[in-house]
Amino acid sequence: MGADERAEGLWHVDMLGLDAVQAEGATGEGVTIAVIDTFINPDVPELQGADVQVRGSTCADPETGAPRQIVSDDPAHAAHGTNVVSMLVGTGQAGDGGPGARGVAPDAEVWFYGVGSLDAADPEHCALQDPTVEADGIDLTRDLSWFAGEVEENIQGLGDPTALAARAAIRDGADVITMSVLSGSSANWEQVAFESMIAEVPIVFGVLNPLRELMLPAGPIGTNGLFPVNAIEPDGRLLTDRETGKSSGMLSNNIAVAAPGDQLLGVGGADGWGPTLIAGTSYATPITAAAVALALEQHPEATPFQVMQAVLRTTGTGGAHDIEWAQDRLGAGYLNVPELLAADPRNFPDENPQWVTSLEDPRCVDAEGTEGHFDESNGLPRCHWTTGPFPEGLDKYRAVYVDGEPIMTLDEPIETPYSKPQTDAGAEAQTGREPSTVSSHLRTSVALGAVSLVGLAAAGVIVWRSAARRARSRGRSEERGEAS
C-alpha cells in the first residue's frame, strides 16, 4: 500500500483532532479497556509496545475441557479482532517502517477476552468457562441467569460466550468495554446490562453493518442502557454499501453516537497481514471506546456515566449542549473528541443517558406516534427505544446479585453464590457507600419501578472496583498536579 493511500486511511486522526489532544497528554494512560472479540494476533508490528493483555477464552472444548485458542497468526481468523485493538492502541508504525494503524488511546491498557469462532459458540461446540475466575471466586458460568423477567439459578452453565466475557470484564474491573461482535439472546444481554448499571461500566458496541440487515439481529441490539455506535464515511454520511444502497444501523433505534468507520488504516485483512483499508461499525466502536478512555483519564473525578453524558453532549461542532437524538441513525451526532475533553463531565447528571426509566420517555414513541405502554396481552412494557430491560428488572436482579437475597421458587427460598446471612445489614451500612445518583433516580421512577438495596458478595467486587478506580484517578491527578 502506497504512502498516499495510507495517509488517506488516517483521516480519522484529523477529524478527531488526535494530534493535538495526544500532544496535550490525553493518551488513555491508567484506563483499562476490555475488548470482546473472536481472535487476536498480538504480535503484529502495530501493537508492539502497546499494553495488550490476552485474558483468555470464554469457550472450552466440551469433551476435553481445554480452553479454545484465541491467539492466532492466521489473518482469516484474527484480522478482525486485531484491527479492533489497533483502533485503540495502534502505534502508528507498520512493519515496513511506514505509517500504520494508529490508536486513539495509545497508552490505555487493553484486556482481550476471546470467544473464538462465533460459528462454534453453541453448547455443542462451546462449554462456557469463566476465563479469569479466582480460586476462591464466584464462577460466572454457574451463578445466575435472567430469563422471562426473573432471576434464576444457572446450575447447568448455560449462556452465551460474548455475554459471559462482558460479565467477566465488569467483574475484573474494566473501565469501559468495547464489543464488535454480536451474539447471544436478549436475556443474556439484559443480565449484562444490569451488571453494567450496577458497576457503572459503559458497554460500547457496533450496530449492524449494511450487508447484515437481512440477518436476525442478535446480541445486545436494542438492549436498554448500552451504547450502540454507528459508522460514518469520510464525508460524514452513514457507512453505505455501494451496490445495495443500504446503510449501517438499520433495526437499531437507540444509537448513541456515530464515529469514523470507513476507509481506515488497519493491520491486515483475511488475505494477509500488513497495512490495509478496513471498514465497518466494528472499528467505529473501539474509536468511541478509546475516546471514552481519554475522557476518563482527563477527568478522573467524574463518574463513568457522567463521562458518557459528556460524549453525547459534545457531539457536532457547537460545544456542550443538551442531548438530541437524531432520526437518521446518527444517535446524538458525530463523536467530537476535543469538545469531549474540553467539557467538565461533573457538570452533567450522574446517570446513564441511554437508560430509559419511564414509558413516558419521548424515546419510547415510535415512528407512527405510538407512545410507550404496557401490552394488554401480556403486561410487558413496550418502548420503541428498547426491548428492555427496565428498572423493575434491575431492582429484582440487584436484590439477588448485590443485596444477597435468595431466589424464590414456588415460594421456597433458594440460596445463590451471592447469598448472605439474612441477619446482616445492607451493603450501604456495611461498606459505608452512599447510594449512587443512578440508584436514587431509579428509586423515584414512577412508571416502571424502582431500584433499591446494595449487598455483600457482588458489592465487594463493586467496592473494590471503585477503590481501584479512585486510586488510579488520584495517581493521574497527582501526575498532572491536580487536586485529588
Closest listed residue to residue 153, CA positions, set 394, 392, 401? 401
Of 180, 196, 248, 282, which is the active-site residue? 282
Can you tell me the distance from the alpha carbon of 117 to that of 249, in angstroms, rounded to the nearest whole number?
23
At residue 284, what is the residue type? A
Can you tell me the distance from the alpha carbon of 135 to that of 54, in angstroms, rounded to the nearest whole number?
19
At residue 435, what is the residue type? P
> 3-class DSSP state for residue 58?
coil
Positions of E strands within 125-271? 127-128, 144-147, 150-153, 176-179, 203-206, 227-232, 257-260, 264-269
Concerning whether 282 is annotated as a catalytic residue, the answer is yes
CA geometry: angle 435, 177, 457, nearest 5 deg: 45
Of 37, 143, 160, 175, which is the active-site residue? 37
Return the residue matching grid coordinates 438530541: 324
HEC-encoded secondary structure of 103-149: CCCCCCEEEEEECCCHHHCCCCCCEECCCCCCCCCCCCCCCEEEECC
Of 80, 299, 384, 441, which is the active-site residue? 80
Can you tell me the distance from the alpha carbon of 48 to that of 95, in angstroms, rounded to the nearest whole number?
10
Catalytically annotated residues? 37, 80, 282
